[in-house]
Amino acid sequence: MDIQLFKAKYEVEECLNEIRECLEVGWTGMGFKTVKFEEAWKQYTGLPYAHYLNSSTMGLYMAVDILKEEYGWSDGDEIISTPITFISTNHAIAKSNMKAVFADIDDTMCLDPKSVRERITDKTRAIMYVGLGGNVGNYNEIVEICKEHNLKFILDAAHMTGTRLNGKIPGKEADVVVYSFQAVKNLPTADSGMICFKDGKLDEIVRKKAWLGINKDTYARTQNMGNYKWRYDVEYVGEKGHGNSVMASIGLVQLKYVDRDNAYRRTICGWYRDRLAPYADKIKFTRIEDGCESSCHLFQILVDDRDALIVALNQAGISPGVHYVANTDYKMYSYGKGTCPHAEYVSEHTLSLPLNLYLSRSDVDYICDEVIKFLEK
């Protein structure tokens, strides 16, 4: 047995045809397929703007950086964030010389609104919210808190491609939403991401900042000299952060299938829950909010002896994962240690069972048999 945690499944022939087009026309860079993917993404999500980037790490950084400049935030100002996330989320805050203030999570694995309220100070500028595993958690209440306290809302939607809340893709309420199309995400490309600002002015800025600050429009607009392509202005010390047409080709194809793929992910999660439900005294599941149709990026359980279960599963040829070690355990963010007891509990007890599109019912049964064998020992 060799059952992996993640294994991306691609529409191989269709992806190759789309990439072939790039190679045949001789254009693999920004433009061409990246523009098509941005249009397709806006249509799919209903969000008004979308700019395609080389990763969501870049997107999260751009989000904080641009909001900070736009709203005149100072170094050391605070953004409330979760310790249970991939490190990109909190690095985006630190990279902009702001401070990630950690709030605790609840049984949805997302930020606990009560804890968030307790962390608000006169230096708080925004809430960074992660839809962990594709769950929305208490999204609507976080939106309310932002309104009440005049905070910006940044949504790290790396796990949320395809997630619906009451039938709609959440995100319109956020000032900026950032998606990941990294190799193991629900819509895998290899590496890329999308940044979706609510405000068109900020979308214009990210298009410059993600391309080294280059503003190609200046001369084209003012002098109408489109063929003077080298006559551009540079307005910022930007990043080389934009996406390319090869990645966008894969994205365009996979997007067509992501709802189908997510439906199968939900089926797999249903199998896990059915089989493991009788052991609810030994296994805790993530609570899924009413109205949330999760993308099911992860299937997480909480168990007493997590590390021993990982060893047992490894011996049975099964590779589970851990999402995540509390970021406050890392040196960089150790100032937050002890402030989020539930997150620290989760960090020690959470385990992600394999969740990928190659899994069959009998694979899931085999995994559950091994988990149950361990629990009954």
Ligand X SMILES: *Cc1c(COP(=O)(O)O)cnc(C)c1O
DSSP 174-195: SSEEEEE-BTTSSS--BS-EEE
Q: Which residues pair with 309 in a beta bridge?
A: none
> Which residue is associated with the tokens 């605790």?
104
Contacts of ligand X in 41-60 (CB under 6 A): 55-57
The residue (of 174 and 371) whose beta carbon lies closer to ligand X is 174
CA distance 85 to 160: 13
Longest CA–CA span in the chain (Å) reads 77
Give min distance, CB of 374 to ligand X, in A: 27
User: Per rule CB under 6 A, is residue 88 in the interface with ligand X?
Assistant: yes
User: Per rule CB under 6 A, is residue 89 in the interface with ligand X?
Assistant: yes
Q: Which residues pair with 353 in a beta bridge?
A: 299
Closest by CA position to 356, among listed 272, 264, 281: 264
Q: What is residue 318's three-state secondary structure?
A: strand
User: Per rule CB under 6 A, is residue 193 in the interface with ligand X?
Assistant: yes
The residue (of 210 and 276) whose beta carbon lies closer to ligand X is 210
User: Per rule CB under 6 A, is residue 67 in the interface with ligand X?
Assistant: no
List the one residue from 73, 86, 129, 153 that touches ligand X (CB under 6 A). 86
The interface region with ligand X, picked from 37-45, 80-88, 133-141, 250-258 by CB under 6 A, is 80-88
List the one residue from 81, 82, 85, 215 that touches ligand X (CB under 6 A). 85
Per DSSP, 157 falls in state -
CA distance 11 to 340: 42
Catalytic residue of the set 185, 198, 208, 209: 185
The residue (of 102 and 271) whose beta carbon lies closer to ligand X is 102
User: Per rule CB under 6 A, is residue 158 in the interface with ligand X?
Assistant: yes
- Whole-angstrom Cα Rg for the chain: 21
Give min distance, CB of 53 to ligand X, in A: 8
The residue (of 185 and 349) whose beta carbon lies closer to ligand X is 185
| Tokens of residue 344, six digits | 């620290």
Helices (H) and strands (E) in the chain, counts: 12, 14
The residue (of 181 and 374) whose beta carbon lies closer to ligand X is 181
The interface region with ligand X, picked from 82-90, 110-118, 167-175, 337-345 by CB under 6 A, is 82-90
The interface region with ligand X, picked from 85-93, 109-117, 255-263, 285-293 by CB under 6 A, is 85-93
Give min distance, CB of 351 to ligand X, in A: 17
Residue type, 46: G
User: Per rule CB under 6 A, is residue 133 in the interface with ligand X?
Assistant: no
User: Per rule CB under 6 A, is residue 130 in the interface with ligand X?
Assistant: yes
CA distance 127 to 146: 7
| Tokens of residue 30, six digits | 């920004």
Backbone angles phi, psi at 127, to 5 degrees: -115, 130
The residue (of 21 and 239) whose beta carbon lies closer to ligand X is 239
Q: Annotated catalytic, 208?
A: no
Give min distance, CB of 104 to ligand X, in A: 17
Angle at 318 between CA 316 and CA 320, to 5 degrees: 135
The residue (of 176 and 312) whose beta carbon lies closer to ligand X is 176
CA distance 120 to 153: 13
Give min distance, CB of 306 to ligand X, in A: 20
Check: CB of residue 118 under 8 Å from CB of residue 108: no
Catalytic residue IDs: 185
Report the interface residues with ligand X, using CB under 6 A. Answer: 55-57, 85-86, 88-89, 130, 156, 158-159, 180, 182, 193
